[in-house]
Amino acid sequence: MPSPYRAIFAAPGTLAFSAAGLLGRMPLSMMGVGIVAMVSHVTGRYSLAGWLSATLALSAAVLGPQVSRLVDRHGQGRVLRPALLISAAAVAGLLVSVRQGAPHWVLFAFTACAGCIPAVGAMTRARWAAIYHGSPRELHTAYAFESIVDEVCFIVGPIVSIGLSTVWFPEAGPLLATAFLVVGVLWLTAQRATEPAPHRDTSGSGGSALRSPGLRVLALTFVATGAVFGSVDVVTVAFAEEQGSKASASLVLAVYALGSCLAGAVFGLLHLKGEPARRWVVGVCAMAVSMIPLQLAGNLAVLAVALFVAGLAIAPTMVTTMALVEAHVPRAKLTEGMTWTGTGLAVGVSLGLSASGWAVDEYGAGAAYAVPAAAGALAVVVAFPGYRRLRRPVPTREGRDDEHIRDHEGERVA
């Protein structure tokens, strides 16, 4: 591991909560695509599969920030375990309903409840932010590492989820994703030493983290970005099936994530100067342009190469996004702020899943790659006007919040 990455793990407990975060984030890449594989296998309908996955993403988008807001106020341990119980029970109900051929409204009801899934990525990033607050170089590397973990999940997750659902039994992918979630969240919440201190919002600002204009720009742009990700997943599964090798979709999607993973690893070693907002806009544009070649892919090999190149823009853009969130959101609302970017992605994923599922059913997989291309163009349209808000100087954080963190860390050291 390169020395900057070794350095961030010098702090006690960082390796343990990172490992727990890896397990807890596996459903991020497994659950949605697993539902697509499961439902399309059982019913033969990609539109229904897409709508169910969209419902899960949209539910997570609505419930996730509320869970994270409670975490900011009461701590990870007290909030995440009840949320985990609700989500796991709902997934179990969904799997049983699919197996029993229950009415569609039952499937949608369980899927909506499953959206209470904890935003594990935001929880681990909040721990890094608490440990390296005031150390931007280390925090940049930590955020890069978190993006690498995300991409490792996207490399391994689809392969396992689609592979198990295709080769073993249809419910296997979502079932294993739930097992990862349970183990990861329980392990993470058991680690109290690195848990950020809860905040009581003594600044008196109240309200949501979305009061920040910069955060609104990031979240809104990520709606379009999420539509790119969601539509690429569904269309790639359908494209692989048209090519006579549905199970190969997991490998192709893993190549997509591999490109992002490699780019994130290199980006974490760099300490770039200049405006983060400008790098962010460039990253959004690069992701949009990279969607164009997908429409020209005639086979899985060409598609894999195109997706690898497209993935190179993802992790650097995500790392820069987390740095901008940390700069534009008060510390008392940091976990919520980080979750709102995930919420934007989740809303976009839901739209991308549903739109691409419809496009596949109506026009075929090859033509449906126009959906992620259009979503990428929309992200650029939103990002450019918002660039000015991200450049604006950010007011000084509430001193009481920073003092609260220092006091809390001092207690733990003592």
Exposure of 386 by Cβ count < 10 A (0-12 exposed, 13-18 middle, 19+ buried)?
Answer: buried
Question: pLDDT truncated to tens, each residue of the chain (414 aa)?
Answer: 457 778 888 888 899 999 999 999 888 778 877 887 788 777 777 778 878 877 887 788 788 888 888 888 888 888 899 999 999 999 999 988 888 878 888 989 999 898 888 888 889 988 988 888 777 788 888 888 888 887 777 767 767 777 777 778 877 888 888 999 999 999 999 998 888 888 765 444 456 676 777 788 888 898 999 889 888 888 988 888 888 887 788 788 888 888 888 888 888 777 767 778 888 889 999 999 999 998 888 888 999 999 999 989 888 888 888 878 877 777 777 777 788 887 787 778 778 877 888 888 888 888 889 999 999 999 999 888 887 777 764 544 443 344 333 333 333 333
Rounded Cα–Cα distance for residues 96 and 88 (Å): 13
Q: What is the CA radius of gyration of the chain?
A: 20
Q: Is the separation of the CB atoms in 250 and 36 below 8 Å?
A: no
Rounded Cα–Cα distance for residues 193 and 199 (Å): 16
Exposure of 287 by Cβ count < 10 A (0-12 exposed, 13-18 middle, 19+ buried)?
Answer: buried
| pLDDT reported for residue 201 | 55
| pLDDT reported for residue 219 | 87
Rounded Cα–Cα distance for residues 104 and 299 (Å): 34
| pLDDT reported for residue 284 | 92
| pLDDT reported for residue 392 | 63
SS3 state of residue 175: helix
Among 275, 314, 413, 296, residue whose Cα is nearest residue 366:
296
Among 167, 159, 174, residue whose Cα is nearest residue 52:
174
| pLDDT reported for residue 410 | 37
Domain annotation for the chain: domains and CATH numbers: 16-200+208-413 (1.20.1250.20)
DSSP per-residue letters across 31-76: HHHHHHHHHHHHH--HHHHHHHHHHHHHHHHHHHHHHHHHHHHH-H
Provide the whole-model pTM. 0.72
